[in-house]
């Protein structure tokens, strides 16, 4: 895509499971809808039941945990206009997850249903590969796991504070029901766990901000400038 010089760029998988002649259908849909991008979606997801289930679950989990809304059953094939392509190439990500990057710039994007031709051999992606890709995708587009750790630590800390008040009251009012040293050990154990989780969450959130800065994604994208000559 970096070497594309024209007003349009057509992207297609090298395995040619999709006939390159569908370019005409992409161009027609783009002209009909006035879209900046026309992307392919699988009319019917092929493969075994496990493959279909894992594929659908992958995109649902990613969309739920990230701030990028990615349609279901998307394909690599897409026709892009130059302004959109320039915006896409302005992203400086080194850990490439194109499935999320395609939709981060926004613009008007329209789906086109396609049918993949079956090919011989087994698929390259196993369940473990899909899980690794999901971790890579979420870590590139979401701070949800770090935020979850922070709030988990806050909840544990709140619980430990409440439990501490209960233990101290019980120690003062009913000292015979509490073993010597138990109150101190319980407070230290529960309180330490909460403080550690909160600290890790805070550190993680700051590291995520550093990560976003290093990604150097554009702060804003201008689709078109209107000026009076």
The CA distance from 85 to 77, in Å, is: 14
Are 137 and 157 spatial neighbours (Cβ–Cβ below 8 Å)? Answer: no
Report the Cα–Cα distance between both ends of the chain, in Å, rounded. Answer: 33
Q: Is the pLDDT of residue 123 over 60?
A: no
pTM of the shown model: 0.61
pLDDT band at 18 (very low <50, low <70, confident <90, very high): confident
Number of Cβ atoms within 10 Å of the Cβ of 202: 14
Which residue has tokens 């026709």? Answer: 79
Mean pLDDT of the chain: 76
What does the pLDDT read at residue 203?
A: 84
φ and ψ at residue 40, rounded to 5 degrees: -85, 140
What's the token pair of residue 215? Answer: 């990604």
Number of Cβ atoms within 10 Å of the Cβ of 121: 5
Q: Is the pLDDT of residue 121 over 80?
A: no
What's the per-residue H, E or C state across 163-229?
HHHHHHHHHHHCHHHCCCCHHHHHHHHHHHHHHHHHHHHHHHHHHHHHHHHHHCCCCCCCCCCCCCC
Reported as a single tens digit per residue, the pLDDT across 40-84 is 888 766 655 556 666 667 667 777 777 777 777 778 888 988 888
Angle at the Cα of 128 (from 67 to 12), degrees rounded to 5?
65
Q: Where are the alpha helices (DSSP H) in the chain?
A: 23-33, 49-65, 82-89, 98-101, 127-141, 144-173, 182-215
Reported as a single tens digit per residue, the pLDDT across 136-172 is 777 777 777 777 777 887 887 788 778 777 777 777 7
110 DSSP β-pair partners: 38
Are 62 and 137 spatial neighbours (Cβ–Cβ below 8 Å)? Answer: yes
CA 34 to chain centre: 28
């Amino acid at each position: 895509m970096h070497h594309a010089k024209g007003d349009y760029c057509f992207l297609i998988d090298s395995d040619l499971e999709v006939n390159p002649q569908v370019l005409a259908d992409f161009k027609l849909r783009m002209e009909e809808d006035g879209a900046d991008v026309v992307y392919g979606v699988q009319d019917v997801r092929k493969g075994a039941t496990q493959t279909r289930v894992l594929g659908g679950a992958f995109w649902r989990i990613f969309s739920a945990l990230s701030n990028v809304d990615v349609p279901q059953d998307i394909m690599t094939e897409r026709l892009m206009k130059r302004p959109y392509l320039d915006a896409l190439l302005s992203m400086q990500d080194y850990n490439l997850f194109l499935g999320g990057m395609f939709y981060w710039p926004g613009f008007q994007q329209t789906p086109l249903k396609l049918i993949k031709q079956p090919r011989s051999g087994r698929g390259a992606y196993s369940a473990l590969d899909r899980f690794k890709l999901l971790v890579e995708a979420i870590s590139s587009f979401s701070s949800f796991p770090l935020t979850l750790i922070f709030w988990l630590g806050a909840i544990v800390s709140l619980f430990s504070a409440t439990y501490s008040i209960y233990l101290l009251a019980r120690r003062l009012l009913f000292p015979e029901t509490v073993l010597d040293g138990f109150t101190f050990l319980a407070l230290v154990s529960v309180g330490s766990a909460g403080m550690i989780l909160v600290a890790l969450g805070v550190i993680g959130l700051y590291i995520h901000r550093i990560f976003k800065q290093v990604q150097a994604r554009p702060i804003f994208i201008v689709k078109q400038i209107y000026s009076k000559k």
